Amino acid sequence: MLPRVFVPHAGAQRHHEIQLGEADAHHFARVLRVKPAEQLVVVTLHGPWLAEIVQVSKDAVTARLLEQYPSSEPAAHIVMVQGVAKGDKMETIVQKCTEVGAHSFVLYQAERSVVKLDGKVENKLARWQKVAREAAMQSQRDAIPAVRYETRLSQLCEGLFAAGIEQFIVLDEAERAVGLVNALAHFDASHRVSEGTTRPKRAIFIGPEGGWSDAERAYFEACEAAVLVTLGPRILRTETAGVAALAIALAHFGDMGG
């Protein structure tokens, strides 16, 4: 597996030479100890490129783009909406869902979230965005999922509508009848095929440790795009539920192999 680096400002044409960012150059030069002629994958705004190292110094690494590299991004566009959880759970959620293939994250200050970010938002978002970047590099992604924060459910959902999200899949421990797979299939049968959509866009909502409040559940029940679903008779932790649901959804759209 070739090492991978994100260089969003890089030009995207054959033989173009780019310099890695300072932190990445330090990692490649001093940790990986790369040498000229070694290959890597450089991800630009125009997708991934196979590249070769042409120059290495103590604090700088230069690479030359050789040819476009096959993409590893899922065809399905799935946004993970996660009720803010306590401790290190948020890092785990961002890391694992990035590895599986989440398009982006919206971290929601749910009514039953134990942790209140308040004045810590910017520092926390910077940390979680760094986790997403590292996980994207490790898992050979071609994009770094964006991580943002919302405190109002109505504003959050309006933003998703504006981004073209077609269905809100809400995991709810109180739901018993509607399963995730059935919800995806039913929506596909009534919308995607007839409209010819080639890139499915969904959002998966996961509540915090305490689950959804009555008011939040009522909001979802009144939202035409939302469907409350169950993952089965076992109750999963908040840091487990999102990863499981994302994997199921991507498998449904053919993005998990097989």
User: From first to last of its 258 residues, what are the pLDDT tens digits of the chain?
Assistant: 899 999 977 667 889 999 998 889 999 998 999 999 999 999 998 899 999 999 998 889 999 999 999 999 999 999 999 999 998 999 999 999 999 999 999 999 999 999 988 888 999 999 999 999 999 999 999 999 999 999 999 999 999 999 999 999 999 999 989 999 999 998 887 765 444 456 789 999 999 999 999 999 999 999 999 999 999 999 999 999 999 999 999 999 999 886
Rounded CA-CA distance 225/117 in Å is 28
pLDDT at 67: 95
pLDDT at 58: 80
99: left (phi over 0), alpha (psi -120 to 50) or beta: alpha
Sheet containing strand 47-56, strands side by side: 4-6, 39-44, 47-56, 61-68, 17-19
Rounded CA-CA distance 50/238 in Å is 38
pLDDT at 257: 80
What pTM did the predictor assign?
0.91
Rounded CA-CA distance 49/12 in Å is 8
pLDDT at 194: 42
Rounded CA-CA distance 160/167 in Å is 9
Q: Which two tokens stand for residue 141?
A: 């992604």
Rounded CA-CA distance 159/41 in Å is 33
Which pairing describes strands 77-83 and 61-68: parallel, antiparallel, or unpaired? unpaired
Number of CB atoms found within 10 A of residue 231's CB: 19
8 Å CB contact between 49 and 65: yes
Number of CB atoms found within 10 A of residue 221's CB: 12
pLDDT at 119: 81
Which pairing describes strands 226-229 and 61-68: parallel, antiparallel, or unpaired? unpaired
